[in-house]
Amino acid sequence: MTDNILLEGTCKLVVAMKVFAAVLMALAAVVVAEEPIELDYHIKIGIPRAESLRRAEEAADFDGTRIVGGSAANAGAHPHLAGLVIALTNGRTSICGASLLTNTRSVTAAHCWRTRSAQARQFTLALGTANIFSGGTRVTTSNVQMHGSYNMDTLHNDVAIINHNHVGFTNNIQRINLASGSNNFAGTWAWAAGFGRTSDAASGANNQQKRQVSLQVITNAVCARTFGNNVIIASTLCVDGSNGRSTCSGDSGGPLTIGSGGSRQLIGITSFGSAQGCQRGHPAGFARVTSFNSWIRARI
């Protein structure tokens, strides 16, 4: 009798364990896989973008149509924005963006200087121009300091300071203030600007000039639902990428700002988007400037 009871109990336990295992498998099946971020920036994005922009500018086909869902920006718009023409050690040319902080210092994304597959040897900053390969004030430098904890696999601490020759301020060239404090800016509308593509399929023929787009900041918790907690940390800032509006290929290192005129503040440095493209409706990630305020100030 006792043996029968034990046997029956054992059978029930086995059945319960199988049911529990089935439930776990069912739950695992509905977990959405984390969206991968693009890590091979220069090879997959910067070099092709630079080639298409150069061809378009040489053809003088400037009809002003990079930022997804945004509008063309003239030379005086976002006067803190610098285009970066990047000479890589492999002999190729790439592009990024940067923000002017003082007459001799700018800030960009560390991955614009170095990724696992490419290393820059020189930056040429293009300031006060709507075109990255022509016009405006241009200064060249190889004096770049990446954040000491920059991680090429997660793009954590994706910040770098550019030291360059003195640049005079004009109506089209101005410095920008660094955001400070504990505001996470969630719900705030901000401006992104850059020289990237306007869509995943866009060519250089109608995408030569800098672009701008208004984007809403979202919480890191919402952003982590897409990219996961290994990528999204406290020093990350994200914006909503739905409704066909986002940063896109070639906007890396460029500014995310709030305010206007002399009160304009830099709150983000363009860092990453989905590896699947910029029109997937996923958020875009930035280095959160308030998290790096002290590090940046110590170097300007």
Considering only CA atoms, which of 161, 175, 164, 156 is closest in space to residue 139?
164
Write the pLDDT tens digit of every residue in 19-42. 444 444 444 433 456 888 888 888
Contact 192, 213 (CB under 8 A): yes
Q: Is the pLDDT assigned to residue 199 strictly greater than 70?
A: no
Residue 111 a catalytic site member: yes
**Which of 78, 80, 111, 282 is an active site residue?**
111
Q: Could you say which of 94, 252, 271, 274 is catalytic? A: 252
Q: Is the pLDDT of residue 7 over 50?
A: no
For the chain, give the mean pLDDT. Answer: 82
List of residues 6+ apart from 292 with CB closer than 8 A = 147, 157, 159, 235
Give the least confident one: 56-65, 158-167, 206-215: 56-65
pLDDT-based confidence at 71, cuts 50/70/90?
very low
Architecture of domain 41-298: Beta Barrel (2.40)
Check 52, 147, 156, 158 and give the catalytic one. Answer: 158
Q: 3-state class of 224 per DSSP?
A: helix
Kindly state the tokens that stand for 226: 């897409």
42 is catalytic: no
What tokens were used for 61? 């086909």
**Considering only CA atoms, which of 289, 216, 278, 268 is closest in space to residue 247?**
278
Which backbone phi and psi does 99 adopt, to 5 degrees?
A: -125, 135
* 3-class state of residue 88 by DSSP: strand
Is 166 part of the annotated catalytic residue set?
no
